[in-house]
Structure 1
């Protein structure tokens, strides 16, 4: 039923009234919100901050990791929280509360806090919020947070919509705020609150277009090597071109592709050395990072017979991206490769299985992407190959004997890759 103009105005007024009526939520303003508590820890182990300070150094998976949280001061004694971490892939300090209905805050609401960066030269930060059962969203803050080191307290405010994707359930949020650290660092936060209306001073990517918006990989653990690797690859391409060397085979992807060169160089040479291959895999890359590299010269000046592309698992792992958005990113990468290498045959691989069991959430997400990928193959210039069954037991489980971390192949896994792909590669090379 179509609503009249007056009805639309009434509903809009009611929505605005509901937002105005929503009270500010002081998640941690001098003390936690009533009924809430402060938690801290690493990826696997978190514990409450019961006293003035706490230390987490008992994670059996990270024997050298240390995460420390403390009550510190900004305007009054104990009105702020401090987080120090080192040798921890991930650290966090968060507010955990009774279920909060944040739906009235979504239209114009903000989450804000004061931040003091004491040390972050080798670290990075992100702000995270739960968005329903087994759902969380985060916004990265690496380069700006590093730039804030030593500059005292700064006020940060994000639109609540930065943490909301279509279909997310904000009706009963129990983890409304977390500050996550990577690498190593020391920071303090205070005055954490959610307001029904505010003026954000921080930006966030549009989740609907992130996978197709080219950008470098600016994570705390990638900044030191990612761009230098890109420059090295450009230099290698220039050297080959000057020497008149052909490059008949190119691999493009993330860490799974990167590890051919980094972890299995002898196998890489034995299997593909005759093609004078070029490995353009970068650990951590998502579709948008590949797109940036393609647009900045990484396949210019070469004319390979075949390019192998596999990308997308980090779109799932990093931001739990919807399958259709990951597909859009892969489609955009395929189009860019075709534009720059019109004579090259492109072999598009299904995203490899991850997680031990078939119902692993991230594997399920990737398989939904894989089901869409055949649409990109015309079997003239673009060819699709799904060889995932070669990695799996008959019941669909993935063995750590093949992928020890249930994501990256070991030597045996790379041998399986080569055996499963070689017949198709032989046909395309001819």
Structure 2
């Protein structure tokens, strides 16, 4: 396949040219398609029956090599450097940097991430939504990240097949130029420490959530206040992510039948990881009530988003337990194992969640914190998942919520008894 020279790379210092990115292709991708930027511009073609029919992703290249990515209503839009000989970035890890000029033209309804693909099941990413929005309309800005921002202990950077990807979500327009790896450089842009990310409270940084996430937090505080002002005692609280939020949708009928009598509150937010739940707890979501039981399941998005070391995810779960016990010492916490995901037992994320679940019993004392693994009730005998229970191999159907409620029934009845 023909490869195309990026003119601006030819002008880089010799030390940078050692990475030989000149022959790498630029792939432009949508959630459902891909095209090579072989000329001045390209639009990613739509499949015959698109799942996201109103999405649009296009890219163009200027004479000076500046690349522009335009995307609208897109789940994922990318400029991806690919097709070259895998490069050895190991010598760059100690003091190396990834540097480029970024011009954020529009990101008011979109998000952005930077990625490095280091091999099979090895993709490292940096979220840049909040920081990117601060750059809207400010013209080209030089960014320099330590290469270690993309590295975790144990990663092999000796043959990196996909050295860089600019990813957009939602709608926006972003330009990038002068991308380079420096063997020694000075980082100018901070990045999260992967070792503490799961325990550092923060808002969810996803473009599809930013418009509703904080308002939902405010609505939940108001819901709790309404119970309090009406003199209703909240005896039961569920904490978690989209699976817990689903009690308000697919699980609504089961919730009304099983839990409404306890004035139960579902504090589930789609997309949340351990650090996002921790932020919410520290911002008052457990305050103003005194529940008898708190059911918590969190961490599957730590797996799905960044395939995080299981011990780090468990550290985030432990931090949330500590916050719960600090704010609601009278409550018994039912710590749930992460539900199975992926159709088959050998699914990567399923196996990863199983490693997390294996560490969770150590967090329970059998009294104030009790560990429950309800996963077997959601699986077929051979370990596969049924679409009748988990339609997308992750989220529950109404039948799945009925199974969840039945599996909790005996434990909840004893803990919630007058």
Contact 1:26 1:194 in 2 (8 A): no
Equivalent residue number for residue 95 of structure 1: 81
Displacement of 1:62 after TM fit? Answer: 2.7
- Map 1:380-395 to 2 at 5 A: 380-395=367-382
Write the deviation string for residues 299-332 of structure 1: whole angstroms up to 9, x where unpaired. Answer: 1121111110000000001111010000111011
Output the CA distance in 1 between the equivalents of 2:188 and 2:387.
45
TM-score, normalisation: structure 1: 0.90
C-alpha distance in structure 1 between counterparts of 2:183 and 2:337, whole Å: 43
Query: Which of residues 239, 243, 260 is equivalent to 1:273?
Result: 260
Task: Give yes or no for the alignment of 1:211 onto 2:183.
Answer: no
Size of the aligned set, in residue pairs, is 402
- Which of 65, 68, 84 is equivalent to 2:55? 65
Aligned to 2:66: 80
- Distance, in Å, in 2 between the alignment partners of 1:244 and 1:138 is 47
8 Å CA contact 1:26, 1:193 repeated in 2: no
Residue 146 of structure 1 corresponds to 133
CA distance in 1, matches of 2:364, 2:32: 40
| Pair 1:283 & 2:270 matched | yes
- In the TM superposition, 1:16-415 aligns within 5 A as 23-25=15-17, 33-59=21-47, 60-72=50-62, 77-96=63-82, 97-415=84-402
**Any conservation in 2 of the 1:26–1:191 contact (CA below 8 Å)?**
no
Contact kept in structure 1, 2:43 and 2:58, CA below 8 Å: yes
Q: Is the 8 A contact 2:251 2:402 kept in 1?
A: no
In the superposition, relative to structure 1, how do residues 291 and 25 fare at CA in structure 2: closer, same or farther (>3 Å)? farther
Partner of 2:412: 425
Query: Residues of 1 paired with 2:163 and 2:381: CA distance?
Result: 41
Greater mean deviation of Cα atoms: 246-255 or 221-230: 221-230
Residues 376-418 of structure 1 show CA distances to partners (whole Å, capped at 9, x for unaligned) of 1111111111010111111111122211111111111111111
Cα RMSD, aligned residues only: 1.7
Q: TM-score, normalised by structure 2?
A: 0.93
CA distance in 2, matches of 1:140, 1:265: 33
Distance in 2 (CA, whole Å) between partners of 1:428 and 1:86 is: 49
1:131 partner SS = strand
Structure 2 gap segments, 5+ residues each? 1-13
CA distance in 2, matches of 1:57, 1:387: 43
The separation in 2 between residues aligned to 1:98 and 1:204, in whole angstroms, is: 28
What is the Cα deviation at residue 133 of structure 1? 2.3
**1:44 positional shift:** 4.7
Structure 1 unpaired stretches of 5+: 1-21
Match of 2:3 in 1: none
Q: In 1, Cα distance between the equivalents of 2:283 and 2:15?
A: 48
Shift of 1:26: 7.9
d(CA) in 1 for partners of 2:289 and 2:412?
A: 19
- Measure, in 1, the Cα distance between the counterparts of 2:296 and 2:405: 14
Aligned partner of 2:7 in structure 1 is: none
